[in-house]
Structures are given as structure tokens and as C-alpha cells.
């Protein structure tokens, strides 16, 4: 009897990796266009501030829910196949957002666009199955860096496009780029063989409980500044959040095919990487929110009253640093190990945040500080992502990297909400300018939170792999 040995997957070339990078760039741009244009959208769609806050987080919430499923399906059915289907949903969501006449339709578009967050683990599944470990680290770094760079491009260009053309075009242009890059990936990237097929269904109870957790967490953070006036509501939400967390953990432990594999999360290397990613992204998100606000601020003796175009120009060095950080993080992890790269990035970010709290009287202080924070964040997250992706079994690549991405999404969501809560609490009644002390407090808290990552970083293994 003869046994058929499956042919090894075809080796991908630079063109295929470039197509994945272009897809990451365009999805990153589409992901970030809402954040800098919330005030414009509030005016044009007659939205309240609470509705604007909902719009700003709905993509993150749906992304956190889709990411584990995308990684699992990519491991099970083949990364390229699921990636193309996922990008079709994203393209549909971008089209809905571009044509949206009102808030409910725009929210629907953002829900569909949230599927884009699952594109990164699927890209890693494809790269890991077609390249050896050393080359895959660099390729993953390139894709991660271009996704971050695309996000900064979207933040820089969304305002000018919306003002000069319309809010419809700020969604339409990156959506066209996503559709084109998806077709390119479908044509150039070879198919990857499916991984394990355990026959288990989707963990719907875990999915629903996790969605409830994320929505409740965002509500708790949004109501925190008004805790004095609504203590009962806030207390009930905190109790509900605790109950949802307990229920979710119980369901995931008993599920045959859990949405988030807590057994994998219990591995020391895995939970450490998730904790580090969450803490680092929380500090980064606070800076991402506070720096543009301080550039726009018109307080007496602080702030610069910068226009949207000027703010985009001032943030450009940070966009460049974030783009370069991806490949540099992959190369650094390959040569020096994740511990050295992450430790260096944490120190740079913490010092930059504390320096911004102490010195922010000139525009260049904010420009340099934001660029260093973006560089440090990119180095840390990429090193953690690449070391995790190459430290687990090939069939677990999507699940492992999706855990990192969920931690990233949670860190950004919590950090952004904390920054907004601090400014809201620091704005005197009847004033539209937040107190300078609110910015100082925000930078100090972010620096202190990031510094705690050093305690975890010291326990990482020293080698080139985690």
C-alpha cells in the first residue's frame, strides 16, 4: 500500500509578501479614518457626544470579537481562503460607511469593517506556512509595520479628504484600496493547506459573553467621570462586568472549541505577551488621544490652537516612526530576542511619556515625544507578535497571534477611554478647555502603567525566541 505525502506549500516571493503588506496598509488606513473626524461626523450627522463615543469604539469591539474566530478558521481551513472572504466583508462595510446617510447605517458599516482586525493573524498564518522561521519574522514585521503605518496615514488624510471632498470619500478611497489589494493577494499568493479540523462548532456562548464584556467595559469607562452623579448606575455596571467575566471564563473552560483558548493563554510565554501588549498599547493610546488634543487646545498659557491640517503635519514623524518600527522590531527580535527589544521599547516609551508630562511648552516637544512613543510601541508589539507567532505550533499560529491582537485592541480601547475620561473630568464647568493638569496627569498615569511592563519583561526568556 502506498501512502500519499502531501506536497509542501509553495514558497512565497517578495511580490506576495508585498501584496499582503499593501493589504495591511489599506486596512490600517480604513480602520483609522473615524477617530480624527468624530467632531465633523457629529456635526454632519447631528450626533450627540455619547453617540460619537459609540461610533469611535464599535469597530474595536467587533474587531476583538472577530479576531479569535478569524485566527481559528485560518488555522482550520487555510489562511488565504479565510482572508479573502474576510476582506470581502470589510469591503462591503467600507462601502456601507461611504454611502451612509445617517448614524444607524454608518454604525452598520463600522460593524462590518471591524472584521478587518482579523486580517493580521490570517496574514501571519499564510506567511508562517510558506516561509522558514527566520524569514517569516521579518515578513510578519513588514506586514505589522505597514498596518500601523496605514493607520497613521488614515489619521493624517481623513480630515483633509473629508473637508475638501466629503466624509463619504474618506471611507471610499481606502475601501477601493482594500478591494484592489485583496484581488492582488488572491492572484499572487499561493493557497496554503488547511490545518487541523477538529469538527467542533463555533463557541457562540463565549462570543456573546465576550461581546457583553467589551460593551460593558466601555460603558464603565465612559461613565467613570460622572461617578459622583450616577454612583448606582456605575456600581451596577461594574457588578455586571464582573458577572460577565466570571461567566465567560467558566464557559471558555468547558467549551470543546473555545473562542479564546484559555489553556493557551495560561502558558507563561503567552499570558506574558498578552499582558505586555495590553499595557504597552494602553499607554500608547493615551498618548495618541492626548497629544492631538493638546495641539488643538486653546487654554491660557498652554495648548497651541493648531488646525486639523497642522496637527496632521505635526503627527507625520510619528507615522514614519511607526511604519519603520514593524520591520525593525522583526529584525531586532530575530537578532537579539524579544526580551531585549521589548525591554528597550518599554524604557523609551515610559521616559517619553514622563518627559511629555514635565515639558510640553513647545510644539517640537510633542512632535518628538509622539514619534518616540510610536517607535517604541511598534518595536514592542512587533517583537511580541513575531516571537509568539514563531514559538507555537504552526497550526496554532492564528489562535496565538489573535490573542495578542485582542490584547492590543483592548489596550487601545481602554487607553483612549481613560484619556477622554481624564480630560472630561479636568474640564471646569462652563469651559471648553481642559485644565493643563489633566494632560499632565494623563501622561504621568500612562508612563506609570507602561513602566509596570518592566516587571514582566524581566521574566521573558533571553533567546531569539519566546
pLDDT (tens digit per residue) in 107-133: 889 889 988 877 777 777 777 666 666
- What pLDDT is stored for residue 103 in this prediction? 85
Q: Cell match 510565554: residue?
A: 269
* Pair (214, 158) in one structural domain: no
pLDDT (tens digit per residue) in 272-313: 888 888 999 999 888 888 888 788 777 778 888 877 667 777
- What pLDDT is stored for residue 465 in this prediction? 40
* Pair (370, 293) in one structural domain: yes
* Pair (16, 149) in one structural domain: yes
Containing domain of residue 363, as a range?
A: 263-466
- Segments in 114-166 forming alpha helices (H): 119-130, 133-164
* Pair (268, 230) in one structural domain: no
* Pair (229, 342) in one structural domain: no
* Pair (246, 272) in one structural domain: no
CATH number assigned to the domain comprising residue 456: 1.20.1250.20
- What pLDDT is stored for residue 279 in this prediction? 92
Question: Counting Cβ atoms within 10 Å, is residue 197 exposed (0-12), middle (13-18) or buried (19+)?
Answer: exposed
Q: How far is CA 207 from CA 59, 64, 247, 410, 415, in A?
A: 16, 10, 12, 15, 23
**Is the CB of residue 311 less than 8 Å from the CB of residue 39?**
no
**Is the CB of residue 363 less than 8 Å from the CB of residue 311?**
no
The DSSP output letter for 131 is S
Question: Counting Cβ atoms within 10 Å, is residue 161 exposed (0-12), middle (13-18) or buried (19+)?
Answer: buried
**Is the CB of residue 198 less than 8 Å from the CB of residue 73?**
no
Q: Is the C-alpha dihedral spanning 397, 400, 401, 402 positive or negative?
A: positive
**Which regions in the chain score pLDDT beneath 70?**
1-14, 39, 42, 47-54, 68, 71, 75, 128-138, 192-202, 222, 224-229, 257, 259, 308-309, 389-398, 401-402, 460-466
Residue 148 has which C-alpha cell?
500601523
- What pLDDT is stored for residue 463 in this prediction? 45
Q: Cell match 461611504: residue?
A: 98
* Pair (187, 282) in one structural domain: no
* Pair (15, 148) in one structural domain: yes
Domain count, the chain: 3
* Pair (230, 288) in one structural domain: no
- What pLDDT is stored for residue 188 in this prediction? 79
Where is the domain boundary, 218, 236, 256? 256
Amino acid at each position: 500500500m502506498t501512502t500519499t505525502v502531501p506536497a509542501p506549500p509553495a514558497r512565497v516571493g517578495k511580490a506576495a509578501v508585498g501584496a499582503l503588506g499593501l493589504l495591511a496598509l489599506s486596512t490600517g488606513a480604513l480602520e483609522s479614518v473615524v477617530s480624527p473626524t468624530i467632531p465633523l461626523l457629529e456635526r454632519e450627522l447631528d450626533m450627540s457626544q455619547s453617540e460619537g463615543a459609540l461610533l469611535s469604539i464599535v469597530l474595536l469591539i467587533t474587531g476583538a470579537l472577530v479576531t479569535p474566530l478569524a485566527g481559528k478558521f485560518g488555522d482550520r481551513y487555510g489562511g488565504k481562503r479565510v482572508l479573502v472572504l474576510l476582506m470581502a466583508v470589510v469591503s462591503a462595510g467600507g462601502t456601507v460607511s461611504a454611502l451612509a446617510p445617517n448614524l444607524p447605517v454608518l454604525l452598520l458599516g463600522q460593524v462590518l469593517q471591524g472584521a478587518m482586525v482579523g486580517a493580521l493573524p490570517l496574514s501571519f498564518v499564510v506567511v508562517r506556512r510558506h516561509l522558514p522561521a527566520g524569514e517569516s519574522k521579518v515578513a510578519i514585521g513588514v506586514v505589522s509595520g505597514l498596518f500601523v503605518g496605514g493607520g497613521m496615514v488614515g489619521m493624517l488624510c481623513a480630515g483633509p479628504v473629508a473637508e475638501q471632498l466629503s466624509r463619504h470619500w474618506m471611507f471610499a478611497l481606502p475601501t477601493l484600496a482594500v478591494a484592489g489589494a485583496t484581488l492582488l493577494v488572491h492572484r499572487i499568493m499561493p493557497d496554503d493547506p488547511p490545518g487541523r479540523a477538529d469538527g467542533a462548532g463555533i463557541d457562540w456562548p463565549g462570543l456573546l459573553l465576550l461581546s457583553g464584556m467589551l460593551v460593558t467595559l466601555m460603558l464603565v469607562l465612559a461613565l467613570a467621570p460622572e461617578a459622583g452623579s450616577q454612583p448606582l448606575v456605575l456600581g451596577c455596571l461594574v457588578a455586571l462586568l464582573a458577572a460577565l467575566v466570571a461567566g465567560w471564563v467558566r464557559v471558555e473552560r468547558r467549551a470543546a472549541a473555545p473562542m479564546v483558548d484559555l489553556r493557551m493563554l495560561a502558558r507563561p510565554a503567552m499570558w506574558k505577551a498578552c499582558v505586555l501588549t495590553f499595557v504597552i498599547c494602553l499607554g500608547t493610546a493615551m498618548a495618541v488621544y492626548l497629544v492631538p488634543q493638546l495641539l488643538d487646545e486653546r487654554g491660557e498659557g498652554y495648548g497651541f490652537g493648531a488646525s486639523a491640517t497642522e496637527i496632521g503635519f505635526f503627527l507625520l514623524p510619528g507615522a514614519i516612526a511607526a511604519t519603520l518600527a514593524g520591520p525593525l522590531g522583526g529584525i531586532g527580535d530575530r537578532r537579539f530576542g524579544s526580551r531585549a527589544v521589548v525591554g528597550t521599547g518599554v524604557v523609551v516609551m515610559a521616559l517619553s511619556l514622563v518627559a511629555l508630562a514635565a515639558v510640553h511648552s513647545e510644539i517640537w516637544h510633542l512632535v518628538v515625544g509622539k514619534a518616540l512613543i510610536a517607535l517604541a510601541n511598534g518595536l514592542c508589539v512587533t517583537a511580541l507578535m513575531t516571537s509568539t507567532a514563531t514559538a507555537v505550533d504552526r497550526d496554532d499560529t492564528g489562535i496565538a497571534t489573535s490573542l495578542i491582537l485582542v490584547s492590543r485592541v483592548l489596550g487601545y480601547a481602554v487607553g483612549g477611554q481613560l484619556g477622554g475620561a481624564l480630560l472630561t473630568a479636568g474640564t471646569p464647568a462652563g469651559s471648553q478647555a481642559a485644565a493643563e493638569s489633566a494632560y499632565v496627569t494623563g501622561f504621568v498615569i500612562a508612563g506609570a502603567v507602561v513602566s509596570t511592563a518592566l516587571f514582566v519583561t524581566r521574566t521573558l526568556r533571553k533567546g531569539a525566541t519566546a
